[in-house]
Structure 1
Amino acid sequence: MTAFTSDHILQRMMALHPKIIDLTLDRVWRLLEALGHPERDLPPVIHVAGTNGKGSTQAMVRAGLEAAGERVHAYTSPHLARFHERIRVAGTLISEQDLALVLDECYAANASQPITYFEITTCAALLVFAREAADTTLLEVGLGGRLDATNVVERPALTIITPVSMDHEAYLGDTLGKIAFEKAGILKRGVPCVVGPQEDAAMEVIEAQAARLGAPLIAHGQHWHAVEDRGRLVYQDETGLLDLPLPNLPGPHQIDNAGAALAALRHLGHDEAACEAAVTRAEWPARMQRLREGPLVEAAPQAELWLDGGHNPAAGRALAAHLARTQRPTHLVCGMLNTKDVAGYLRPLGSVAESLTAVPVPGETNTLPAEDTAAAARAAGLAAETASDVLSAVRGIARRAPSSRILICGSLYLAGAVLRENR
């Protein structure tokens, strides 16, 4: 057994490449070859890309498959509290012992050659999945799609593209069409793709790539529809209509995510029971997650505390649509990275929140200073102040508005810190 913990090995891996993000598949192919090409031995793969909603959609697909009795591998990123969250082996988070062993094996096989943290850890996940029997493998794209480290499966069973919007422009392009081209890079010749709601500029690119590859599309608005009707989720495709409970993941945007998951499950031949489980049993932390215990809850005992990791303008719009339906006044605690469009994220929230307390994202060198976040909030029409940390912010809101809703938001990294510390 390795003498090192997974944390120790992950720290060593961080030093193998000077850049966190460097999109190319060359290093991944080299390491996969050294490992004996585990990507060729995976159980049937469902590959999920998109800007918003891919994690929630994947969680719903997994809930439906597992309800149908399947053993499901799942790979997601980033993690929130512990790296182990990224690798779910046949339904169970990878153990510390298994994670340390496979990371050590990949580190040795890489032989100190340049490779990014995400690339080598993705190879580790694929190696684990290839060695453990399962019925399905779910792979969530890390960034983009075309050059993402997960895009190494020659013929997946199905691909899914959730809504595409502006994000990571420095890496994916400065127009919606360019970003959609990168996302559409997961399309494979002859492999069906479920497509969530898209703006016209994105859909045109996806359709063009699909036509070039002969990849059949199962597209929202054409082949399937999902709407909320009188407190129910109504889904319809060429197979027929489903009348289901609303998703247990809150927010109107989850209707579209559920629709994509249901389209995938129906295409794969699953019944109504699996579809209902997809929307009622899915769990996905930091997506409008209610916090019910821990120091933050104790600091505001009369308030509702919620946590959300959305961080781009589309996420801000989705969050605003959800908050507009709630009765309690909402006060935001927000921390963001300086690589994000803070103004675009906060603009929709100006009309649905009472105030914003800006905080730095702990432990992140790219954190946006709290003063800058507060200034952007004021520009969006929000009363704003700063606090040194989330706990101080929550205490301040609890003093002046004890029965309010407090939403911690703006960054998955901030959400991760909250989940680690609020135990």
Structure 2
Amino acid sequence: MARSDAVLERLMALHPKVIDLSLDRMHRLLAALGHPERDLPPVVHVAGTNGKGSTVATIRAGLEGAGERVHAYTSPHLARFHERIRLGGALIAEDALADVLAECEAANGDAPITYFEITTCAALLAFARTPADWTLLEVGLGGRLDATNVIAPRLCAITPVAMDHQAFLGDTLEAIAGEKAGILKRGVPCVVGPQEDEALAVIEDRAARVGAPLRIHGQDWHVGRDGDRLVFQDGDGLMDLPLPVLPGPHQIGNAGIAIAALRALGRAGGAEAAVTRTEWPARMQRLTGHPLNALAHGAELWLDGGHNPAAGRAVADTLAAMPPRATHAVAGLLRTKDAAGYFAPLASRLSGVRTVSIPGEAATLSADETAEAANRAGLAAVPSANVEAAVGDIAARAPGARILICGSLYLAGHVLRMG
């Protein structure tokens, strides 16, 4: 076991074990660590329901394409915890990760703190000690009381807000948008991605109250597809760019947020790199050279970690834009998600579903429960023992099909660890 794994295992046992949105524990531990959050390179803070990670990855590609060194903090990880922390453009090294985790553990002592809070402190400590030009922070959950909301940002961004995590953020779009808008700070500009009217109204109201200038999609900037090009326009002019390398119509909007952010940071020269060099696994990722390909017998294998109704719509739109091919899903979801709501937009795009439980996840729906949710959404779903059995069964019954493994980032991480 790596040294960082041993520390992370101990941190997993900390209390409170469940999500408990508060900033008090963060402020206490950061003070004990000497306030690393005050010594970060300029911060871009990104909240939203869907597209946060893709947007952070796209901004990072743009800044690095402009020759800048970039720290980035994202969650959750897929295969290894190290993926959450990028120092100056590279994943944090094992020794560096183990050191900052151990330092945070020692500074915290026996005081209550959540796993996400203490690991966020470790990331901020690593960022403060490593020279870079920018720090990109992805909100973990919500925004107002998220562990990342302890910094003074240079720029904020809010990606599309949708229904998710209602148990923690509220059961209306307005309530959820209010939590996301909690990252807004006086005098700090915020790029706002495509929003439902109800969510945008809440964001605009919060911005007016705190004095945060907004750059709003559809008002201050516009983005769209024109043939095989992406066209972005704002008050500074028009940009004609290649289409994003990340597949799916929804990535046009995410790319627009990233380009608007680069404009706001004075780094528009990185816009082409932003759309052409982005790497972000498990977002409609084509799997090649993976052990599952041997079971697929020529079927296309795709992987996506989206897990809420808006993500289901994004996947459905992506499938609609792909060359016609019978598509079967292998799906696993957590019981904290709206499984039927996720499947509903996919009902017209999938020829069938094999459902699985997610290995190692206590909150997973069983294969039977996920199949019931898919059936309620109008899909023909059959439980499978595991991903391998599901892929093999689809390949045998529907030769040459497209197989999409989907429903959870945790399931995606399990698949990527296989390789």
Q: Pick the TM interval, shorter chain.
A: over 0.9
User: Where do 1:191-270 residues align within 5 Å?
Assistant: 191-270=188-267
Mapped to 1, the partners of 2:112 and 2:178 lie a distance apart of 27
> CA offsets per residue over residues 169-223 of structure 1, 9 Å max, x none?
0000011111001000100000000000111111111000100111000000000
Q: Distance in 1 between matches of 2:388 and 2:16?
A: 34
Separation of aligned partners in 2, 1:142 and 1:194? 18
2:86 partner SS: strand
Contact 1:72–1:90 (CA under 8 A) maintained in structure 2? yes
**1:20 positional shift:** 2.8
**Does 2:368 align with 1:378?**
no
Q: Give, in whole Å, the separation in 1 of the partners of 2:80 and 2:217.
A: 34
- 1:320 aligned partner, one-letter code: A
The equivalent of 1:30 in structure 2 is 28
Contact 2:329 2:405 in 1 (8 A): yes
- Work out the CA distance in 2 between the residues paired with 1:55 and 1:276: 19
2:96 is the alignment partner of 1:107: no
Deviations 1:14-52 (A, max 9, x none): 122142311000000000000000000000000000000
> How many Å apart are 1:4 and its aligned residue?
6.8
Give the secondary-structure state (helix, strand or coil) at the position aligned to 1:194: strand
Query: Residue 124 and residue 351 in structure 1: after superposition, are their counterparts in 2 closer, same or farther (change >3 A)?
Result: same
Shift of 1:393: 0.2
1:291 alignment counterpart: 287
How many angstroms does 1:382 deviate by? Answer: 1.6
Match of 1:300 in 2: 296
- Give, in whole Å, the separation in 1 of the partners of 2:213 and 2:26: 28
1:271 is displaced (CA, Å) by: 3.2
CA–CA distance in structure 2, aligned partners of residues 294 and 368 of structure 1: 26
Aligned counterparts, 1:109-148, within 5 A: 109-148=107-146
Alignment of 1:155-170 (within 5 A): 155-170=152-167
Question: Mean alpha-carbon deviation: is it higher for 364-373 or for 28-37?
Answer: 364-373
Distance 1:4 1:87 in 2: 17
Deviation for aligned residue 1:236: 0.6
Partner of 1:313: 309
Structure 1 position 63 matched with structure 2 position 55: no
- The aligned amino acid for 1:28 is M
Q: Which amino acid aligns with 2:320?
A: A
Contact 2:17 2:115 in 1 (8 A): no
Q: Distance in 1 between matches of 2:396 and 2:296?
A: 8
- Which residue in 1 is equivalent to 2:76? 78
Q: Residue 411 of structure 1 aligns with which residue?
A: 408
* Superimposed CA distance per residue, residues 151-180 of structure 1 (whole angstroms, 9 cap, x where no aligned partner): 001x31100000000000000001111100
Shift of 1:226: 0.6
Q: 1: CA distance between counterparts of 2:130 and 2:369?
A: 48
Paired residue total: 418
SS of equivalent residue, structure 1 residue 48? strand
1:325 pairs with 2:355 = no
Q: How big is the shift at 1:96?
A: 0.6
- Give me the CA root mean square deviation: 1.0
1:301 is displaced (CA, Å) by: 2.9
Partner of 2:365: 368
Distance 2:214 2:266 in 1: 16
* Secondary structure of 2:354 counterpart: strand
Of 328, 351, 358, the residue aligned with 2:348 is 351
Q: How far apart are 1:376 and its partner, in Å?
A: 1.7
3-state secondary structure, aligned to 1:324: helix
1:402 counterpart residue number: 399
Q: CA–CA distance in 2 between the matches of 1:81 and 1:20?
A: 22
SS of the counterpart of 1:138? strand
CA contact (8 A) 1:16 1:113 kept: no
Using the aligned pairs only, state the percent identity: 69
| Candidates 179, 182, 185, aligned match of 1:185 | 182
Q: What letter matches 1:110 in structure 2?
A: N
Unaligned ranges ≥5, structure 2: none
Q: CA deviation at 1:392?
A: 0.4
Question: What is the Cα deviation at residue 391 of structure 1?
Answer: 0.5
What is the deviation of 1:412?
0.5
> 2:143·2:149 contact (CA, 8 Å) conserved in 1?
yes
The match for 1:50 is: 48
State the shift of 1:406 in Å.
0.3
- String of CA shifts for 1:86-144, please: whole Å, max 9, x gaps: 00000010011110111000000001211000000000000000001100000000000
Q: CA deviation at 1:395?
A: 0.2
The answer to which of 11-20 and 237-246 deviates more is 11-20
Return the alpha-carbon distance in structure 2 between the equivalents of residues 165 and 388 of structure 1: 32
Q: Which amino acid aligns with 2:140?
A: G
Structure 1 residues 120-129 or 288-297, which shifts more?
288-297
How far did 1:368 drift?
A: 0.6
How far apart, CA to CA, are the structure 1 residues paired with 2:17 and 2:109?
18
1:392 aligns with 2:400: no
For 1:347, what is the secondary structure of its paired residue? helix
Deviations 1:369-412 (A, max 9, x none): 11121122122222211101001000000001121110000001
| Alpha-carbon separation, structure 2, partners of 1:321 and 1:25 | 38
